[in-house]
Amino acid sequence: MAFLNDVLLGAGGKTWVTVIIPSLLATYWVLWIVYARTLHPLAKVPGDFWPSVSRTWHMYHVYKGDLTVHMRAMHEKYGPLIRIAPNEVLSADPEAIQKIYPTQRPLEKADFYIAWRNGSPGARDDLFTSNNEREHAEYRSIVGNVYTMTNVLRNETNLDDVLALFYQRLGEFAEAGKSFDFGRWLEMCAYDNVGIIFMGKQFGFLETGKDYGNFMHALHLAFPFLTFVATAPRYARPLILGGGAVIPKVLKALIAVGGITDRAEKEMQASLARSEDTTSKRVDLLSQFMTIVHQKGEKVGYTPKEVRTEMVAGTFAGVDSTAATMRTIFYHLMKNPETMKKAQAEIDAAFADGSLSHPIMYNKAIKLPYLQAVIKEAARIYPAWQVPMPRVSPAQGLELSGIHIPAGFIAGMSPACVQRDKTVFGDDANEFKPERWLESEERTRQMERAMLNFGAGTRTCIGKHVALSEINKIVPEVLRRFDIEMAHDQPWETHVALFVTQWNVLCKLTKRELA
């Protein structure tokens, strides 16, 4: 024992442990840096120092909500291929889309998506979280027809009822002559739209003018936290989740998210109770999912558990992505009054010649060229999804920008980066310019091939028709009814998590004379 004490204790009573352990850690760190920067398989990929040696750079900027700014800055400095973590690269080259997100032999999704998986015992992964391509294809074949535009538009009349209340609320703000948080009301509208489309009922946001069930606040807390978890190394996620659960704000958010799940469960049970009613003419998506359960659920393995997952995923993704896109559209129109006037003139002319009427129908709105250019340009310049969409490099590896990415490493793209590529979108790619979409059919096709706002390959967003049906009805009707202006000269505030959130979109409305 005395000998051991002599070994552990040096001169002056200092323990060797306090010297040896820090020394070993420092040595390991130095050796790791040398390896990561010079010998690592991704050492040839350019990028800043910290991302190449530690994933904490990526995690920190997800936590701060400013990842997009720093990804773009690195692309500007180093080119189309950059290293954003020791084992992960990011491409902003439009030519890489077909390599990373091919339609044939698609690459496996990285473990970023595992953090978003459904926790219900026995339920299969949803379309977003599944990293098994065969299972994903089978699942999509089961529910795909429910999400077609033709089927979604069966809800258009019910959607018009929700939107009538939305326009009424906007009219009240216009009559009061006061500024209000337009971005918040767009989000509340998106919630009630999703409620009517998915469940056949509005949540009650527009009716009460309040955050129903604290859902908005919950998602604004939960999405950043869960995105942070998903970005962390897999081994660290249980620790972060456990630590987050004792933080009051995070715990409150997770409880409120559970409230959305409970609402989906209640509506599903109500649908089951009504399923024997042969006179029912419900067209909401929940009723159609339950029809699948009744008709072939046992055969294809589609149960009420999967329906519940579908409803929750639809609510989460359907609200934030749609609201973010509409905030972007109106924000840039307010910042570019001449563009707004052009869009309004096109809408007015369409009403004058009878090609549009009230309520505006989706199939009519998509025939307005300038309106469509505005919507596409907003989705391009500030997409709702901005974090990387990571995939695992296949057995043969990937060739990106002349550099070989070996098997097993992570490669991805961010819509917010590739959609500002100057070789495709022009030297003015950082400017909001809808006219770029009207120059020629050939250029439009080239730009559309470089768009990632709804994903690419086999994993395109299955709910995109839900979002587009709302956007194409709301934007022209609001522009027809109101002149819109910012209530201040300050830029908006943004936070990039799974979806982007924008604040400070305060505006004033003035009613327009309607023909």
Of 214, 184, 496, nearest in space to 327 by CA: 184
Say which DSSP state 512 is in: P
Alpha carbon distance 250, 14 (integer Å): 43
- Please give the backbone phi and psi of residue 408, each rounded to the nearest 5 degrees, phi first: 90, -20
Query: Which homologous superfamily is 40-511 in?
Result: Cytochrome P450 (1.10.630.10)
For residue 19, count other CB atoms closer than 10 A to its CB.
11
Contact 477, 463 (CB under 8 A): no
Longest Cα pair distance anywhere in the chain, in angstroms?
Answer: 100
User: pLDDT tens track of the chain, all 515 residues?
Assistant: 555 555 555 555 456 667 787 778 888 889 999 999 999 999 999 999 999 999 999 999 999 999 999 999 999 999 999 999 999 999 999 999 999 999 999 999 999 998 887 666 566 788 888 888 889 899 999 999 999 999 999 999 999 999 999 999 999 999 999 999 999 999 999 999 999 999 888 989 999 999 988 888 888 888 898 899 999 998 898 888 877 777 787 777 677 667 667 766 776 676 556 555 544 577 899 889 989 998 999 899 998 888 888 888 888 788 999 999 999 999 999 999 999 999 999 999 999 999 999 999 999 999 999 999 999 999 999 999 999 999 999 999 999 999 999 999 999 999 999 999 999 999 999 999 999 999 999 999 999 999 999 999 999 999 999 999 999 999 999 999 999 999 999 999 999 999 999 999 999 999 999 86
**Bridge partners of residue 413, in order along the sequence:** 91
Written as one string, the DSSP assignment of 129-194 is T---HHHHHHHHHHHGGGGSHHHHGGGHHHHHHHHHHHHHHHHHHHHHT--EEHHHHHHHHHHHHH
Give pTM, 2 decimals: 0.93
Alpha carbon distance 134, 140 (integer Å): 10
Element containing residue 417 per DSSP (H, E): helix 415-418
Of 314, 312, 319, 313, nearest in space to 186 by CA: 319
Length of the chain measured in residues:
515
Catalogue the E-assigned strands of 174-306.
Answer: 180-181
C-alpha 495: how far from chain center: 12
Alpha carbon distance 204, 209 (integer Å): 8
CA atoms within 13 A on the CB side of 289: 29
Element containing residue 60 per DSSP (H, E): helix 56-64
Contact 484, 327 (CB under 8 A): no
Q: What is the pLDDT of residue 88?
A: 98
Q: Position of tokens 């009559």? A: 175
